[in-house]
Amino acid sequence: MTASTPGPASGAGSARNDPASRLVVTGGDVFDGTGAPPRRADVAVQEGRIVAVGSGLDGDVAVDATGMTVLPGLIDCHVHVMISGVELMAHLERPFSYAFYAAIGNLAATLDRGVTTVRDAGGADLGVKKAVEDGLVEGPRLRTAVSILGQTGGHTDGWHPSGIDVPLFVPHPGRPDPVVDGPDEMRRRVRQLIRAGADVIKICTSGGVVSPRDDPRHPQFGPDELAVCTAEAAAAGIFVMAHAQGAAGIKNAVRAGVRSVEHGMYLDDEAIEMMLEAGTFLVPTLVAPHWVIEAADAGAAISEVVVAKAREVAQIHQESVSRAVAAGVPIAMGTDSGVGPHGQNLRELELMRRAGMQPAAVLAAATSAAARLIGVADELGTVEPGNRADLVLVGGDPYDFAALEANIRAVYKGLL
């Protein structure tokens, strides 16, 4: 069990650590993750998994959740645990290994906010994932992309006008070089990522906001390169996620068969229809441009070009996501944490509500829908028998997203 905050499970005694014991979270309302309204129910847990949900359940140990709502552990489908802000000079002055130590705090801050699973969208390698799995550091369950693939001059190219190359993630034996050109290089690099332990392939089909030398509206990678990427991923049984901000890049990604479009800032009607037809998820990351603007306003040394792009896209982003929501595009929660401070993940929920999502749908996007997107719906994302006992206990109104962080009473990752 991991409890990130002192909560009602405190003092449950040694039985909670006995795998044979049965623990019951009792007296609370359960939001099961499907979008159905919360209902009064007990949740019985044994050996780290939910064994029953219903009324009048008994067990060896009781956790009193009276007056609280029990949520599934939240899932953030787009984080960067190895990034702690986008200020270039800070990035340059930190030793290579510093990011691994900073990730320890980033992981803990994320778990503390009720996010028990994340998809790291670039940066974290297999060692980071294994460190969490083996209990060396505390953090959410990790699905990892390892490296972010982009073309020369694209979103992952660290070249600057001075001629100096400053990659966001320095390649190392467990993190392949992110820049690829042509189908043959693409095939080799995807295979290298699979060998390195990637759970998902991350590709950039458009420019971006935080990359100063490209335009988020311009497409990147050709159809031949994208086809090779999705084919190699499919052969290994994994999905492809696409950083795609401009409409042309979004459409190219959907045509190639990606699982999710990340950001989607310049969605048009055709792109939305294509996503609906293909069942492609949108991971909005609405909070990300706000973080860039806030950091710049606070005095961070961020490129003027980057800040200007963030200011330009913030409102457009919200409007694009609103149209996608109205059309019924499947939505999964993601934040781009790392661009902004880790531990502020729940800010995204209120922005999703403002984009037109009903509150229950917002929570479903952060639980069951997110679990479906990343391929873990058979174990996570809902409060039901057989699933892992990742649970968040919150006081107050669970749909009051502005107050949700303050209302968290306990976070459990694999409650025993």
The candidate with the shortest Cα–Cα distance to 178, out of 148, 221, 146, is 148
Q: What's the gap between Cα 405 and its chain centre?
A: 17
3-class state of residue 334 by DSSP: coil
Strands 42-46 and 49-54 turn out to be antiparallel
- Catalogue the active-site residues: 202, 336
The candidate with the shortest Cα–Cα distance to 177, out of 158, 197, 161, is 158
The CB density around residue 347, as the number of other CB atoms within 10 Å, is: 21
Beta bridge partners of 165: 159
How far apart are the C-alpha atoms of 365 and 284, rounded to whole Å?
11
| Two tokens, residue 404 | 């949700």
From its phi and psi, is residue 172 left (phi > 0), alpha (psi between -120 and 50) or beta? beta
Residue carrying structure tokens 């994340």: 118
Task: List phi, psi (to 5°) of 300.
Answer: -65, 145
Cα Dmax for the chain: 69
Burial call 265-297: b when 16+ CB within 10 Å, e when fewer: bbbeeebbebbeeeebbbbbbbbbbbbbeebbe
How far apart are the C-alpha atoms of 301 and 147, rounded to whole Å?
25
Residue type, 63: V
3-class state of residue 67 by DSSP: coil
**Across the beta sheet with 239-244, what order do the strands follow?**
148-149, 200-204, 239-244, 260-263, 281-283
Residue type, 62: A
Residue carrying structure tokens 């990340």: 262
Say which residues have a Cβ less than 8 Å from residue 175's Cβ, sequence separation at least 6.
Answer: 123, 125, 146, 147, 169, 196
Beta bridge partners of 63: 25
